[in-house]
Chain A
Amino acid sequence: MIIEIGHYALILALATAIIVSLVPLIGARRVDQAMMDVGPIGSVVLFALVAFSFGVLTYAHVVSDFSVKNVWENSHSLMPLIYKYSGVWGNHEGSMMLWLLILALFSALVAVFGRNLPETLKANVLSVQAWISVAFILFILLTSNPFARLDPAPAEGKDLNPILQDIGLAIHPPLLYLGYVGFSVCFSFAVAALIEGRIDAAWARWVRPWTLAAWTFLTLGIAMGSYWAYYELGWGGWWFWDPVENASFMPWLAGTALLHSALVMEKREALKIWTVLLAILTFSLSLMGTFLVRSGVLTSVHAFASDPSRGVFILCILLLFIGGALSLFAFRAPRLTAGGLFAPISREGALVVNNLILTVACGTVLTGTLYPLVLETLTNDKISVGPPFFNMTFGLLMAPLLVIVPFGPLLAWKRGDLLGALQRLYAVAALAFVAAVVFFYLQHGGPVMSVLGLAAGLFLVLGAIADLWYRAGVGKQPLGIAWRRLKGLPRSAFGTALAHAGLGISVLGIVAVSTFQTEHVLQMKQGEVTDAGGYTLRFDGMKKATGPNYTEDRGHFTIARGGVDVADVWSAKRIYTAGQMPTTEAGILTFGASQLYVSLGDPTDDGGIVVRIWWKPYILCIWGGALVMALGGFVSLSDRRLRVGAPRRKAKALQPVMEPAE
């Protein structure tokens, strides 16, 4: 019975969404306050209904109600409780419910925290948000009903895909969706502005916190997904340029560009048309990502059992929203007036270069992702576009950006002094280069070109510190005054510095791992030893073990340095009993920011086992940098200046969601 009530709540949510998608919009045209008031109330009701419906599905999973088809297909009574919760979105239907829940959450947040927005803009924004809700509720109800029943109810479930039985599933999708779907707010603001035909700096000030919040969560979500793939899949890689990864990376690139162009618009009223276009494109890329992942055109861990009707449905949503928004843009954009002028060498100019590089790089990722699909449709040729393509195009195109980033914050608005910035940074650049050479020398080995990569990463980190240093006037002012000036700097200045330094840390990690990592694949017998990354590994033999819903063969390794045992690690091959599915559980040991990664292969005929050992120097910097970037996002969000006209308590409201990421 409760299941049917959940289903019914979803249908009521559809009705509510249809009302919110029309009434406030008409109200805004007629300047009818009563009709516009439907927006906020309706959005909150919509969220409540969707949340209730989602709660019912969660309940079905937690109590293992196998009469619900979705639970039977993706759960098992013996599964640990946490996976019963996270397993709710570990399948197609549930993940679409999560998508919808977060969409409704953002609409409700705009309704609640947008009290200072002009009434007509708010009404339009909420209506546009409701259009998206209507589309996705219809999608769920018509093609992916999570509440479908089975009669008679089976006694036991088919189990969740073992790869998904991990704490990562509890964290990665919600964070990723908070980012992905968060960009819907930017989209709605852009479309609402186009409907009104009016846009100004205040618009950018309202949009920026939402962009920043979405970007921050997306950063965390992507980093978490990457780390999860790294430790769970047992292949030792952290980024595969898999189309599904690209699908989340493209909105991030576009969102990063949007974040910077909205800044120009807020401060200088320039780049208005471009910012609106970027807001539309960013969410379009999110939608396209959803299409690629959920339609079954791609094959990956993310593509749960596919069904062609779903693909066609999402494609229609995609075309409708992207096509509609872009047509509206083409229609209305000429009406928007151009804003402030600026010299090519200026803060604005630097941000334009940032946008140019990010969007072009995003374009190459898009090309590489879609080209195989297009080619297959047109010529039936099947090709794979892999890491070599992306490293060559994306890597080369992004390289100049790394060098330019530290200059941006040092240039003045309107007309900047490049020579002055150069004078301030040449010492930093020299320091970064020397440090890179020393670091390279200490690691021995690897291509010399990687010194440049290391130097770029260090330049970013040191440049971010230098920015704060000069702003505080360290060296020119007495220390006490400099300290007070530093404390007086707006939080957004710290946010910028943290985000840029985080990028540098990630770059350092990426370059260090790709240059200095070592990999050994060898056959080991009990008692044999091998070297990796300056450590000695001794294989102590295999042991059988049983978990709640799996059995495993695990190998024990003792790690020694200079003859002294320092650590030990288990590495296992598991069989999940319900589906008889094997997985590899890599043994990972952390030394500082570096890791030793041990994964097991098959037993050999003569009683040994194939072992693959990686030494991954400074690999934790890759995700650590992303965490620092996200921290920069949160610090910036807490800046008072962002709260003009936008949420007073928003930063606080975001806090609890942030905690699980750490």
Chain B
Amino acid sequence: MTRKQKRLAVIGGGMSFIVAAVLLVMFAFSNSVAYFYMPADLASNPVPPGTRIRLGGLVGEGSVVRGAGSTVRFAVTDASGDLVHVRFTGILPDLFREGQGVVTEGTFESGSDVFTADTVLAKHDEKYMPKDVADRLKQQGLWKEEQAAK
């Protein structure tokens, strides 16, 4: 091989690796990214079963039911009054409370309007509210300043 051919081979190899990486990123974005929804969004624009989404809002007052074993049911609500039932098996975060902000991740199973969550996130500490939820609650006028200040 001449020096020019060698250089072309090296550059070609490098570029093809980068192209492969870009394709991989695009493929991964189309497959493994979860959109954020609140109950009001789902009422107007339901997602097909099996699509992985993030569902956020407030844990409905009095909605938490601990069944036998480690499965918990609760409802996620927002200012619109819409409500989504959630089923979760596992241990809830320490700061999971009724009336507080929560973000869950999971899917709707086909033929059911219960959201099956595999992840539940609540606040990290007293000063913190999931940002996605806080932004939307501010828009809906449900944000209480003492909540932000605390």
Contacts and interface: CB of A to CB of B under 8 A. Distances in A.
Interface of A: 161-163, 234, 298-301, 303-305, 343-344, 349, 352, 356-357, 360-361, 363-364, 367-368, 371, 381-386, 388-389, 392-393, 396-397, 521-523, 573, 579-584, 599-602, 604-606, 610, 612
A300 B95 CA distance: 14
A523 B68 contact: yes
A371 B20 CA distance: 19
A583 B95 CA distance: 8
Residue from A299, A363, A383, A581 whose CB has the most chain B CB atoms within 10 Å: A299
B24 interface: yes
A523 B70 contact: yes
B34 A393 contact: no
A393 B91 contact: no
20 contacts: A299-B128, A299-B131, A301-B124, A303-B128, A305-B127, A343-B6, A344-B6, A344-B10, A384-B34, A392-B31, A393-B24, A522-B69, A523-B70, A579-B125, A581-B94, A584-B91, A604-B69, A610-B70, A612-B90, A612-B91
B126 interface: yes
A386 B34 contact: yes
A581 B126 contact: yes
Contacts of A605: 66
Contacts of B92: 601-602
Chain A contact surface mostly = mixed
B33 A383 contact: yes
Residue from A383, A605, A612 whose CB has the most chain B CB atoms within 10 Å: A383
B143 interface: no
Given A381-B35, A389-B33, A601-B91, A523 B131 contact: no
Interface size class of B (residues with CB under 8 A): 35 or more
Contacts of A601: 70, 90-92
B14 to A, nearest CB: 5
B18 interface: yes
B32 A384 contact: no
Contacts of B126: 579-581
Contacts, number: 123
Nearest to B9: A344
Contacts of B29: 371, 385, 389
Given A363-B21, A602-B66, A610-B70, A384 B28 contact: no
Contacts of A599: 91
B87 interface: no
A463 B125 CA distance: 46
B105 interface: yes
Contact of A163 (B17, B21, B124): B124
Nearest to B128: A299
B44 to A, nearest CB: 15
Given A389-B28, A392-B24, A521 B36 contact: no
Interface in B83-115: 89-92, 94-95, 105
A357 B33 CA distance: 24
Contacts of A363: 21
Contacts of A582: 94-95
A343 B70 CA distance: 61
Contact of B21 (A344, A364, A389, A602): A364
A521 B70 contact: yes
Contacts of B25: 364, 367-368, 393
Given A382-B35, A389-B29, 11 more contacts: A161-B125, A299-B131, A305-B127, A383-B34, A384-B33, A389-B28, A581-B94, A582-B95, A599-B91, A604-B69, A605-B66
